[in-house]
Every structure is written in structure tokens, then in C-alpha cells.
Amino acid sequence: MSNHLLEVRNLRIEFPTRKGILTAIDDVSFHIDEGEVLGVVGESGAGKSLTGAAIIGLLEPPGRVAGGEILLEGRRIDNLPYEEMRRIRGRQIGAIFQDPLTSLNPLYTVGRQLTETIMTHTDMTPTKARERAIEMLTQVGIPAPERRVDQYPHQFSGGMRQRVVIALALCVNPRLVVADEPTTALDVSIQAQIIALLKKLCREHGTAVMLVTHDMGVIAETADRVAVMYAGRIAEIGPVKQVVKQAKHPYTEGLMGSIPMIGHTDEKLRQIEGSMPRLTNIPTGCAFNPRCPKAFDRCFRERPDTIPVDGTEVACWLFDKETANV
């Protein structure tokens, strides 16, 4: 049971507001195994990034973990004191953020930011740490690393900066990296390079990745398993082949249908009608019911939990034995 690297059980994240408590993440459970890439997809506001933030223990107040637990190698980490969580952060769980242009401190050289991270988590000497920093820059494909290590972030292009960010996230060999839309802010031409690099490095180091994105193409290429999130819950989770090729949840079907295909020129681009409900206004029953082409009466009454179906898990009443036959 706890041989998973990371396990999230019934996670619930709340935001207290003046109008009452908003539940942003509700009863989310999943796990990531050693060296595995879990893709997390969904529309903006589905709670993907929030889940990532909770895992690295950097939820922004007033957001808080209100229920459930997060375990790293069987040890509960969601309720650790700040200082203990800090030691895990960077050391065991690395993070990569969306915008490489703003992720680096403009006033320090990339070398100093690398050595600082390395020396915080290991007892390397400054000289050793610097060697390690140059080695990391080499690994992420930065040319002339011995020279580049003493340069400031503004002297690097966007793609190069994201490589530096990856180097920073991986410099002390964490077991897991939470990559929150690592390519969204980059040029399309560079996105593929960065994803390929991340995939290659993590495979070499045996690092597991939680890859948060809304790019299904990236997921299909990179992830071992996929979790599809909708309105703060998991709609479908399973091996990438099954989720992409034989999507079960009507929402996943819709997502897959909205990927444009080369060659299908005569077809109009498909889209899912409507938009995701606001947190203050989540419908009773299944949150997807207003947009679901296949919704039936039970979907408006009861909220579905994930049900195992052919190796994946789907939160949809269509796959419940009681109603499947109706």
C-alpha cells in the first residue's frame, strides 16, 4: 500500500472567505510511483496547480489543507512543521514553475542560485557545489556552462532560463518533481525541447514527475498515467493510452475531441459547450452535469466517486453497475 512514492488521500483544500468556506479541492486521491510521470490535466481553475502547491507545502494562505493526507514514501508530510517541510522541499520534492522569466532572482548569478540550493541541502563545500552547478548546467544543455554559471538571469533567453530552472529543481536529485505548466510561457518551438529534456533527465535520475499542464499533446507524449481534473475533483485517472485513446468520462472525451488533428481540415474544431462552474456555484450531483451530453437524472442527484473500470478509474455514473444498464 505505501510502496507508492507519493500518495494523496482524500485531499481537501479550502479557502475561508467572507461569504463562507470555498472548497477548491474536494476529496482528491491519487498516487505517483517511483520514476513515474503522472500528467494532471484540466481547465484553468480545476485545481491542478493547487494540488501541486499542496504537495510541496506552499499553499498560499488563506488556502489550507482541510482534510485528507499527503504521504511521501509512507510518511505524512501535509502536517509537518514549516522547518521540517522546508528540508523536504528541494531535497526530496523539487518544483518547476510556469514562468521561467520570473522564477529566477534577477540580482544573483545562476551559479549563486544553484550553489545556494545545493549547499542548503547537502554539506558540499563551495568549490564542490560550484562544480556540481556547472555539471547541472551541462546536463540541462546550456552551452559553455563554465562561463554561463557566472551570468545573471537576464542574460539568458526564456528557454535557457527554463533549463536553469530545471537544473535548480534537479540539482540535489529529488525523488519527485512537481512541474506546474513548465512550458506554457515558452515559444511553441521550445516547448518540445524542454519537455524532452525534462523527460530525459528524470528518466536518467529515476525522478518521478507530477506534470501539471493543459496541453494534452504533452501528456500523450510524456506521461505514464493521466489524471483529469474538473472543478476540484478527479474525473478520470488511468494509464495514458487508455485515457487518451478510450476516454470514458464524457469530460475526458470532450477534452480529447477538442485536440485539433492535422489532415482533418473539413471538420470544425470541436469544443465542450459552456464553462467550468465557479467554486461558489458547483451544481449538486456531478459538477459536469450542465455541460454533459450524456447526463441523466442520477447525475443531477448524487455526486459520483471514482469507480474502477478496465484499469482506469472514472467518476461517472455511466459506469456504475446499478445505472449502467438503465
Partner 1 sequence: MAAFILRRLAQSILVMLVVSLVAFYMFQFLGDPINQMVGIDTPLAEREALRERLGLNDPMIIRFGKFVLNAAQLDFGLSYQHKQPVVDLLMERMPATIELSFVSAIIAFFLALPAGVYTGLYRNRWSSKALLTLSLVGISIPTFLIGILFIYLFAVILGWLPSFGRGEVITLPGGWTTGLLTVSGLKAIILPATTLGLFTLTLIMRLIRAEMLEVLRTDYIKFARARGLTNRAVNFGHALKNTLVPVITVTGLLLGNLIAFAIITESVFQWPGMGRLFLQAIQEVDLPVMSAYLVMISFLFVVINLIVDILYYVVDPRLRVEKSGGGH
User: DSSP states of 162-180 as a string?
Assistant: HHHHHHHHHTT--SEEEEE
Nearest distance from residue 299's CB to partner 1, in Å?
38
Beta strands in 189-309 (DSSP E): 208-212, 225-230, 233-239, 307-309
Q: In this chain, which of 10, 44, 155, 258 binds partner 1, going by CB under 8 A?
A: 155
Q: In this chain, which of 95, 194, 231, 240 binds partner 1, going by CB under 8 A?
A: 95
**Of the candidates 110, 244, 116, 85, the residue with the CA atom closest to the CA atom of residue 166:** 110
Scanning 27-35, 104-112, 128-136, 295-303 for contacts with partner 1 by CB under 8 A, the matching segment is: 104-112
d(CA 17, CA 21): 6
Beta carbons within 10 angstroms of residue 65's beta carbon = 17
Q: What is the DSSP letter of 305?
A: P
- Grid cell digits, residue 162: 527554463
Residue with smaller CB distance to partner 1, 120 or 323: 120
**Of the candidates 298, 291, 300, 301, the residue with the CA atom closest to the CA atom of residue 317:** 298
Contact in structure between 22 and 14 (CB atoms under 8 Å): yes
Scanning 108-116, 221-229, 256-264, 277-285 for contacts with partner 1 by CB under 8 A, the matching segment is: 108-116
Helices and strands in the chain, H and E counts: 13, 12
Q: In this chain, which of 45, 68, 90, 141 binds partner 1, going by CB under 8 A?
A: 90
If one asks whether residue 108 binds partner 1 (CB under 8 A), the answer comes out as yes
Nearest distance from residue 196's CB to partner 1, in Å?
22
Scanning 19-27, 69-77, 98-106, 187-195 for contacts with partner 1 by CB under 8 A, the matching segment is: 98-106
Residue with smaller CB distance to partner 1, 152 or 199: 152
If one asks whether residue 323 binds partner 1 (CB under 8 A), the answer comes out as no
Residue with smaller CB distance to partner 1, 84 or 135: 84
If one asks whether residue 105 binds partner 1 (CB under 8 A), the answer comes out as yes
Q: What are phi and psi of 175, to 5 degrees?
A: -80, -25
**Residues 121, 126, 128, 130, Cα dihedral to 10°:** 90
Kindly identify the residues of this chain, within the stretch 114-143, that bind partner 1 according to CB under 8 A.
116-117, 120-121
Residue with smaller CB distance to partner 1, 23 or 113: 113
Residues whose CB falls within 8 Å of the CB of residue 68, separated by 6 or more in sequence, listed in order:
8, 9, 10, 11, 12, 27, 28, 29, 78
Q: In this chain, which of 63, 152, 190, 320 binds partner 1, going by CB under 8 A?
A: 152
If one asks whether residue 249 binds partner 1 (CB under 8 A), the answer comes out as no
Strands 64-72 and 6-17, how do they pair? Answer: antiparallel
Q: What is the DSSP letter of 104?
A: S
Cα-Cα-Cα-Cα dihedral sign, residues 237, 233, 181, 216: positive
If one asks whether residue 111 binds partner 1 (CB under 8 A), the answer comes out as no
Scanning 24-32, 79-87, 206-214, 307-315 for contacts with partner 1 by CB under 8 A, the matching segment is: 79-87
Q: In this chain, which of 49, 103, 306, 312 binds partner 1, going by CB under 8 A?
A: 103
If one asks whether residue 198 binds partner 1 (CB under 8 A), the answer comes out as no
> From residue 58 to residue 77, what is the string marking binding to partner 1 with x (rule CB under 8 A)?
x-------------------
Give residues in contact with partner 1 (CB under 8 A).
Answer: 56, 58, 82, 86-91, 94-95, 97, 99, 102-109, 116-117, 120-121, 148, 151-152, 154-157, 160, 165, 168-169
